[in-house]
Each structure stands twice: as structure tokens, then as C-alpha cells.
Amino acid sequence: MAKKQRRMTKQKRVILDVLRSTTSHPTADWIYNEAKKILPNLSLGTVYRNLNNLKEEGKILELSYGSTYSRFDGNPENHYHCVCVECGKVADLDMPVVEELDKKAQEAQGSSIFYHRLEFYGLCPHCEEKEMKN
Ligand code: ZN
Ligand code: MN
């Protein structure tokens, strides 16, 4: 799939750096607040526009979970997440079966598979520990 390439502006660079500096899969609001510390004149609209451009360029991922706000991921490679049903935390899952699943789907389908999406829902270790105590 062809990816659009646009020029890298200062704002876009800062937004990308902020997103890559965390593993928390933040919302646009969080990114806005962090990037504003570096670029005080930044607007939320600019953040949304640049996040959208970065997504189209294949540099970041947008994770949408139905009714809640989109979250963003500075790691553009397909990988899995576990969403905590208690606190909403989104954690990376170290589970290197992405290509294997594509291959299996391709075998089942008998024609080209490009990518897949898979989400896991459960408890984060913190919420699990809390539940054990109750
Ligand atoms: Zn949790
Ligand atoms: Mn991730």
C-alpha cells in the first residue's frame, strides 16, 4: 500500500517525538498537553491534523476502541494490545505471531491477506492485584 509522504514540520516532529517518548498509548489531548510544553502556541486542531498525517504516512498507529477516545501509538508495526476493562490502560503484548497469523489466514482464504487486527481485553496486573485483595 502506497503511503503518502508529507514534509516534516517542526510541529509534526515534536508531536512524533512526544508520542514516541511514551508507551502509554496516549490520547490526542495528552499529546497536546505534552507538546505544548515545547511549542506553547500549538493548537489542539494542529495536533489532530498532524496525528492524522503521521497515521497516513505509516509512522504511527491510531487505536480506536468503540465509544472511547482514540489512542495513538508511536510504534507503527502491527502488534497486539491488552485493554484493561477496569482502568482502560492499553498495554503492549509481546506476542510475535503477527506474520504467522497472516500466513494462516492466507492459507484459509486462498488469496492475499495484507494485515489483521486483534484486540485482547482483560485486567492489567495492577487491577488484578486489587481484585485479589477484595
Ligand atoms: Zn487496570
Ligand atoms: Mn502499542
Distance (angstroms) between ligand 2 centre and the Cα of 127 equals 19
Asked if 25 and 63 count as a contact pair (C-beta separation under 8 A), the reply is: yes
Say how many domains are in the chain: 2
Distance (angstroms) between ligand 2 centre and the Cα of 25 equals 6
pLDDT band at 78 (very low <50, low <70, confident <90, very high): confident
The pLDDT value given to residue 67: 67
* CATH code, domain with 133: 3.30.1490.190
pLDDT band at 4 (very low <50, low <70, confident <90, very high): low
Evaluate if residue 62 carries a pLDDT over 70. yes
* CATH code, domain with 48: 1.10.10.10
Residues 94 and 108 in one domain: yes
Residues 51 and 102 in one domain: no
Q: For every residue of 29-76, which 3-state class applies, written as one string?
A: HHHHHHHHCCCCCCCHHHHHHHHHHHHHCCCCEEECCCCCCCEEECCC
The pLDDT value given to residue 3: 66
The mean of the pLDDT values for the chain is 92
Residues 9 and 66 in one domain: yes
pLDDT tens, residue by residue, 87-123: 999 999 988 888 899 999 999 999 999 999 888 999 9
Distance (angstroms) between ligand 2 centre and the Cα of 110 equals 30
- State in Å, rounded, how far the first CA of the chain is from the last one: 50
Residues 70 and 82 in one domain: no
Residues 60 and 113 in one domain: no
Containing structural domain, residue 45: 1-74
The pLDDT value given to residue 2: 57
pTM, to two decimals? 0.84
| Structural domain ending residue among the three candidates 52, 74, 96 | 74
